Amino acid sequence: MYFTDLSYNIIQGFYIVNDSQGGKDMRFTKIFVCFMMLAFLFSTAGTVCAAGNEDWVWISSDSKYSKYYSPSRVRIIDSYGGVATRLEAWTRTNYNYEGAVETVANYEIQAVLQPEKLAYSLARVEINPQNRTIEYVQEDFYDTGGNIVWSKLYNPRTVKEINSQSFDEAFYTVIVDSVFRYGETERSKAADRWTPLWHAVAGDGSITAAIADTTTMRLKGENIIFWEWLDQKDASGTVLEIKFMKMAVNLPQGTQKVIQYKYWDQKSGWKDLTAELDGLYTVIKPNSYEAGGLAKLRAYAAGYQYWLNRYSLDNIK
């Protein structure tokens, strides 16, 4: 409304002056007015566009970080058969002091930025929804005065797969939902996000249990791909070890393999053991605990085809 009202007032002002002169050169005045209005609008276009880019929408907050994204900057940059395969977006992270300390340490930028001066960062990212990955293209870190104090251009880029342990999960789900609207964000917050596969109770009272993250589930050919959380607790409920694994289960054949593997215990903490995997499928033995999990996965696949085939390229010719 501001520009509309202003342009109307300018035109009226010119016409009033012109009428007071007996209506002479009205045609010239109209041309002059149009020229001045175009010049005015072009001169302010940069400011308008810059303001439009500040449409940061809040996603989530915790004791360390507040996360936002810009809906107007989400765009499809590649597709196959009419299905988007690569998205570009901008994200914003605001830092509380604890988050700033953690971030400065992780990036090893103590020499150029003190945690108390880190206010927020902006990042340009690219997302592949078929493989649930996010790539950071560039990041700019700002101080409390709004000045860029450190920037990083990722070359080569680091590809990060999104799962329940990812810092970027909230960014990923809301950006993908803004394009596809399949409900990634809703599923990530659902009470039944994790579905039980199997559990076993040992003679000493310890319990081993496996659960599957339905948020990460998708079908690729005959395989259902997902992240599995397997933990062992003693009789008192204390966690002894955790196996966090990206799984591929061939549903018709009843075989499985571990694609990625992260391990935790009380002594060593988290370790990435993916390099130790052989990449081979193993048969899920009948009457085993894993066989019960296979039956549940088959039932889930039969009932949730819509979800498991989201963004799929398998049937595109």
**DSSP per-residue string spanning the chain:** -HHHHHHHHHHHHHHHHHHHTTSTTHHHHHHHHHHHHHHHHHHHHHHHHHHHTT--EEEEE-SSEEEEE-GGG-EEEEEETTEEEEEEEEEEEEE-HHHHHHHHHHHT-TTT--GGGEEEEEEEEEEETTTTEEEEEEEEEEETTS-EEEEEE-SSPPEEE--TT-TTHHHHHHHHHHHH-S-HHHHHH-TTSEEEEEEEE-TTS-EEEEEEEEEEEEEETTEEEEEEEEEEE-TT--EEEEEEEEEEEETTTTEEEEEEEEEEETTTEEEE-GGG-----EE--TTSHHHHHHHHHHHHHHH-HHHHTTT--TT--
What pLDDT is recorded for position 158? Answer: 87
HEC letters along 189-223: HCCCCEEEEEEEECCCCCEEEEEEEEEEEEEECCE
pLDDT tens across the length of the chain (317 residues): 333 333 333 333 433 334 444 444 444 444 443 444 333 333 333 323 333 356 999 999 999 999 999 999 999 999 999 999 999 999 999 999 999 999 999 999 999 999 999 999 999 999 999 999 999 999 999 999 999 999 999 999 989 999 999 999 999 999 999 999 999 999 999 999 999 999 999 999 999 999 999 999 999 999 999 999 999 999 999 999 999 999 999 999 999 999 999 999 999 999 999 999 999 999 999 999 999 999 999 999 999 999 999 999 998 87
User: Right CATH number for 192-308 from 3.30.1420, 2.20.25, 2.60.40, 2.40.128?
Assistant: 2.40.128
Q: Look up tokens 């002002």; give the residue.
A: 13
Contacts of 100 (CB under 8 A, 6+ apart): 115, 116, 118
- Tell me the whole-structure pTM to 2 decimals: 0.81
Whether the Cβ atoms of residue 212 and residue 308 lie closer than 8 Å to each other = no
| Whether the domain at 57-185 and the domain at 192-308 fall into the same CATH topology | yes
Angle at 146 between CA 142 and CA 150, to 5 degrees: 25
- Long-range Cβ contact pairs of 132-137 (< 8 A, separation 24 or more): 132/161, 132/162, 132/163, 132/172, 132/216, 132/218, 133/159, 133/160, 133/161, 133/162, 134/159, 134/160, 134/162, 134/168, 134/171, 134/172, 135/159, 135/160, 136/160, 137/88
Measure the N-to-C terminal CA separation of the chain; round to a whole number of Å.
49
Domain range summary for the chain, segments of one domain joined by + = 2-44, 57-185, 192-308
- Domain topology for 57-185: Lipocalin (2.40.128)
pLDDT value of residue 315 = 85
pLDDT at position 307 is 98
Residue 23 · residue 30 · CB < 8 Å: no
